[in-house]
Amino acid sequence: MSDPIQLGLVGLGTIARNQHLPSLEDVPALQLAAIASRHAGHETLPSYHDIDEMLAKEPGLQAVSLCTPPQGRFAQAAAAINAGKHVMLEKPPGASVSEVEGLARLAREKGVTLFATWHSREAAAVEEARELLAGARVKRATITWKEDVRHWHPGQEWIWQPGGLGVFDPGINALSILTRILPDPVHPVSAQLEVPENKQAPIAAKLEMETASGAPVAAEFDWRQTGPQTWDILVETDGPDVLLREGGAKLFVGGEPRISAEDREYRRLYARFAELIAAGESDVDLAPLQLVADAFLLGAQTRVEAFHDNP
């Protein structure tokens, strides 16, 4: 067996601690060797203030995983690629489509792997839903994606700034599943974005889309839901309806339960990253980010009442 790939992790926030760190422990092809974070350090690993310091002091690193906010990530990824490192990007892969396209071109020039990840595509039921829909005629699809921003992003101001995507930060997860499971590509027809008075990104959005074959797709995203959270995608077909619940962890076909499984999304992402590196390939699917960009372009923005406290 070959030695594990030496990996540096940039960003040590909630998603890194809850998902990336435990997932890396279960992927023997990768070995976490260093951390770069402005606000935190690892208990047992070398920790640096930023990616430039980490790259300078850890020349043995072969790959870098970026868990930082999308704003500013282009410079971090470009630094790693220019240093000859393979790069994995947390979703959304960048603040704009053109940024990530530029990184993909740079990675090709430098001969390294770039992996733009969509963790929700790795949910347990997504691939079976894709297989079920491959031979079906889709009549309609409906996304309902509602959660509580104060629970998932307390005090994180970057999500409300340009490039932070607002409610599309979780909503892009739904779009990543949608673009994976439908047999036809989709494009937005109209978008309504609700933007708080004191913010620059939407807290809620409604999209009307169509598949290439003309089937309507409706999506509703909202960050104001309290209590139980809703992450559902319903696809009506000429056969049994296909329903994904809990972000793709559960599958119902014709109303009957088919799959319910634990979360192993990030373990699958890191295993895939190692496979791409071994094969000398990249995976940069920007369809979900392009839909968000189109939504902002088409969006009729409605300003809503400002928050009375910090979201």
* All structural domains of the chain with their residue ranges: 5-116, 120-262+293-304
**End-to-end CA, the chain:** 49
* CA–CA dist 184, 62 (Å, integer): 37
Residue indicated by tokens 């960048």: 94
For domain 120-262+293-304, give its CATH number from 3.30.360.10, 3.20.20.70, 1.10.3720.10, 1.10.3470.10.
3.30.360.10
Q: For residue 303, name the pLDDT band (cuts at 50, 70, 90).
A: confident
Determine the pLDDT at residue 305: 67
What is the token pair recorded at 165? 């995507």
* CA–CA dist 247, 229 (Å, integer): 10
Is the pLDDT at 84 greater than 90, yes or no? yes
Is the pLDDT at 308 greater than 70, yes or no? no
Residue 187 CB coordination number (10 Å)? 13
Consecutive H or E run containing 61: none
Determine the pLDDT at residue 42: 86
Nearest to 270 by CA among 3, 65, 44: 65
Give the list of residues 6+ apart from residue 60 with CB closer than 8 angstroms, or none. 6, 33
Fold of the domain spanning 5-116:
Rossmann fold (3.40.50)
- In a 10 Å sphere around its CB, with 0-12 CB exposed, 13-18 middle and 19+ buried, how is residue 155 labelled? exposed
Look up the pTM and report it.
Answer: 0.95
Q: For residue 311, name the pLDDT band (cuts at 50, 70, 90).
A: low
Q: What is the DSSP letter of 236?
A: E
What 3-state DSSP class applies to 37?
A: coil
> Could you give the C-alpha distances from 122 to 19, 239, 247, 268, 272, in angstroms and in order?
13, 25, 10, 7, 10
What is the token pair recorded at 284? 């940069």
Cβ–Cβ under 8 Å, residues 96 and 84: no
Q: For residue 306, name the pLDDT band (cuts at 50, 70, 90).
A: low
What 3-state DSSP class applies to 89?
A: strand
What is the token pair recorded at 208? 């009307």
- Return the active site residues: 91
* CA–CA dist 232, 132 (Å, integer): 17
* CA–CA dist 190, 207 (Å, integer): 6
Give the list of residues 6+ apart from residue 13 with CB closer than 8 angstroms, or none. 37, 40, 67
What average pLDDT does the segment 54-65 reach? 98
Determine the pLDDT at residue 147: 97
What does the pLDDT look like over 192-217, one tens digit per residue?
Answer: 999 999 899 999 999 999 999 999 99
What does the pLDDT look like over 101-146, one tens digit per residue?
Answer: 999 999 999 999 999 999 999 999 999 999 999 989 999 999 999 9
* CA–CA dist 219, 298 (Å, integer): 14
